[in-house]
Structure 1
């Protein structure tokens, strides 16, 4: 099996094997099913969970809960599709999203369809995590030292980014397993703190469950942005093939078995994190909840400080997980297409440059809520909600009007609509926030 876990099925040349052994995604294939579980939790349960009560405040109870449940079902289905398609061709593994796209659409078109969208997702998520990490660090400092001299948000983002200038040089996905496991535990922990603290606080006096905006136009744009927030919360698909690439595979024991077991466990944890935070957060605060519920929660101080520290640890792992496929793309291009020699120096330049660029953009556009809605709709909707369905139709070719055919087309229509409306709401939120923001304050 090409690039497989057992040498007797390996058909690569010595040069190809040497390059694959150096690249981040294919250099290690010793992962177990529980690696799939915590990697997927880290990829999925990110900063987006903290915005779900805010999303409900713009969608309302009925529509909001429906959107959350449908998103969970749709993305679990498309996740299953990608796990199944990882080895759709006997003897070959599609270790990267774009490789699957190239098989479905052709070498050139597949790159044009998948790579820009995947890069927007992964780079965009890293930018959002930079903002989240910096703001959570700022909130932590304000919680433990309310009388300290205030520092600019910019400085906290810079402090947070310093960690990544070190961790970025870990060579592959397996090497960040410890960081990813810690991040997964932290995501479950701060999600629980968020809804338990809200529940313990009790409903806000005069709680109002009407839609956040009082104008028809504002409600429409708010719903658009909220749909993007929900889409951003289901971001793990963009690294699922890369995660599966770390699991050994043979014709007798394909990787999809342990990978899918890990995905099911991860999605159960996702439900445990998402639904209580969204429902309890909105129930307690109604339409005054902030786009990050930990900002709305101010007491008990020590608990909110702890939750923000958990968020910081989680987005450190999340950033590393989403940046690793980007490193792989760049390093693959430089080594295979531009014929650079694989080396530590090349890796240092690539990864340091990436962290620098995402830090700069995060400092320039530090608008958490707007960024979630924009990136959630613009790129996460295609790569998570409907692109796997399109690839499935191309590769598997289900019979027209069969159950599989109909389900895939329904999800494609939903995903396309989401991709159209969500970025509009997110962009509007960014513009409104930018109008009142002092960039170095």
Structure 2
């Protein structure tokens, strides 16, 4: 298995798998709700627009991986390294804070969502056995602990390059539950053959929807879509796993095209078909709108869980690499960082697990802390909408645009310079209004929040 992993590592296909795993997250299941907030005019338009912006800026960022020349320049192994090489040290701090808060916030959200998926499996089985009128409430804390335990074990993988098979599995699972959700929505639509939804989305005055709530939810929907297309903050780290030749930027551009193309196809399909099926009453998580056939709903939720197990590591390995490199430059002479321990894996002839105390203890503490935060803030998905809206402009647009202008030496005031800066300003405006909507939703949720209580 190790030889197979080595043979197929560092190619356009493994990069595509990493890209799909990073981009397609559980956020895809909220897209029908997001489309419902904006309606048939602006919902699908927003999905396509965010895809085009993300893809274009990914092309710009790919050319900045090596500097000062995109083909023969020096490698920059991290997003922050690219910022340091192209813009200087003063931009590194802000970029690093935003990037790593976003990475960590995402895996907190994955912890919560994984518990929700496991709870959904238990609930659908209860409904199938006892009827849909039965009381089938359940708590998610134990499921978060189980998920955290799995991630503690997986966190001992050395780096991002060593989890290629895990990333491929996660990418396959993301396709699986997206297909199932799409199929269930198609079946629901076929059962009534009624074209639901309106041009402007959820209507004011119905179900207690006030004008302000309509506006906030529309803005939050933009943040959710922006978060769903989160990709730039991992692009450089994925590109750093590629073999050369061919040039890494050429391979990464192909991987971005394939990965974002597949992602956009699923996003638009599920967002539109889900809205057709549910109309303005689309649930926040489209899978929670189905209980039958219970076995298929269970498979979809288990696929979500398996995807999040892999996606968690794609994000976490980037964080591990950052703080371990930072610590090693300061106290590298101690055995805590250098001494390698070997633990033989039972029932195998030559397999063994190699680790240092640094990785064993610090990575375990990281996962434990992340799990506890997820248990304390069970509404954290609303916070992720805020993180997505905040990070969209600086990480996805501003820094790729600014670094490309610097490296390509685009003349100030030229047509291309004006177009790139205009794109950055539009993205800033979208981030601001979506952040406002997310903050309003967080404030509302705080009124009813209970620590260590996630119930379904």
How far, CA to CA, are the matches of 1:297 and 1:361 in structure 2?
Answer: 29
- 382, 397, 401: which one aligns with 1:370: 382
Name the counterpart of 2:146.
159
- 202, 215, 220: which one aligns with 1:212: 202
The 5 A counterparts of 1:41-52 are 41-52=20-31
The 5 A counterparts of 1:220-369 are 220-249=215-244, 253-339=246-332, 341=334, 342-343=337-338, 344-367=356-379, 369=381
Structure 2 residue runs without a partner (length 5+): 1-5, 205-209, 339-355
How far, CA to CA, are the matches of 1:110 and 1:75 in structure 2?
Answer: 21
How far, CA to CA, are the matches of 1:437 and 1:320 in structure 2?
Answer: 28
How far, CA to CA, are the matches of 1:417 and 1:95 in structure 2?
Answer: 30
How far, CA to CA, are the matches of 1:281 and 1:346 in structure 2?
Answer: 46
How far the C-alpha of 1:331 sits from its partner, in A, is 0.3
How far, CA to CA, are the matches of 1:52 and 1:149 in structure 2?
Answer: 26
How far the C-alpha of 1:403 sits from its partner, in A, is 4.3
Name the counterpart of 2:84.
102
How far, CA to CA, are the matches of 1:387 and 1:363 in structure 2?
Answer: 33
2:115 aligned with 1:134? yes
How far, CA to CA, are the matches of 2:50 and 2:313 in structure 1?
Answer: 25
- 158, 181, 188: which one aligns with 1:171: 158
How far the C-alpha of 1:357 sits from its partner, in A, is 1.7
Q: 1:340 to 1:317 in 2, by over 3 A?
A: farther
CA-to-aligned-CA distance 1:77-112 (integer Å, 9 cap, x gap): 0111111111132441011000111112212x1321
2:371 aligned with 1:379? no
How far, CA to CA, are the matches of 1:151 and 1:269 in structure 2?
Answer: 35
Give the TM-score of the pair, scaled to structure 2: 0.85
How far, CA to CA, are the matches of 1:289 and 1:305 in structure 2?
Answer: 20
How far the C-alpha of 1:220 sits from its partner, in A, is 1.5
Asked if the contact 1:29–1:248 (Cα under 8 Å) also holds between the matched residues in 2, the reply is no
Asked if the contact 1:29–1:247 (Cα under 8 Å) also holds between the matched residues in 2, the reply is no
2:73 aligned with 1:78? no
Name the counterpart of 2:400.
388
How far, CA to CA, are the matches of 1:76 and 1:48 in structure 2?
Answer: 18
Name the counterpart of 1:9.
none
User: Which shifted more, 68-77 or 52-61?
Assistant: 52-61
How far the C-alpha of 1:149 sits from its partner, in A, is 6.9
Give the TM-score of the pair, scaled to structure 1: 0.88
2:396 aligned with 1:406? no
2:170 aligned with 1:183? yes
Asked if the contact 1:95–1:242 (Cα under 8 Å) also holds between the matched residues in 2, the reply is yes
CA-to-aligned-CA distance 1:378-427 (integer Å, 9 cap, x gap): 22332113321122122223133444323311221122112222222222
- 421, 426, 433: which one aligns with 1:421: 433
Asked if the contact 1:137–1:312 (Cα under 8 Å) also holds between the matched residues in 2, the reply is yes
How far, CA to CA, are the matches of 2:7 and 2:91 in structure 1?
Answer: 26
How far, CA to CA, are the matches of 1:404 and 1:244 in structure 2?
Answer: 26
Asked if the contact 1:331–1:350 (Cα under 8 Å) also holds between the matched residues in 2, the reply is no
How far, CA to CA, are the matches of 1:200 and 1:151 in structure 2?
Answer: 28
Asked if the contact 2:118–2:301 (Cα under 8 Å) also holds between the matched residues in 1, the reply is yes
How far, CA to CA, are the matches of 1:340 and 1:305 in structure 2?
Answer: 50
- 21, 26, 31: which one aligns with 2:10: 31
Paired residue total: 412
User: Which shifted more, 298-307 or 38-47?
Assistant: 298-307
2:56 aligned with 1:56? no
CA-to-aligned-CA distance 1:180-230 (integer Å, 9 cap, x gap): 101101111111111111111115979453533622211221121111100
Q: 1:100 to 1:376 in 2, by over 3 A?
A: same
Structure 1 residue runs without a partner (length 5+): 1-26
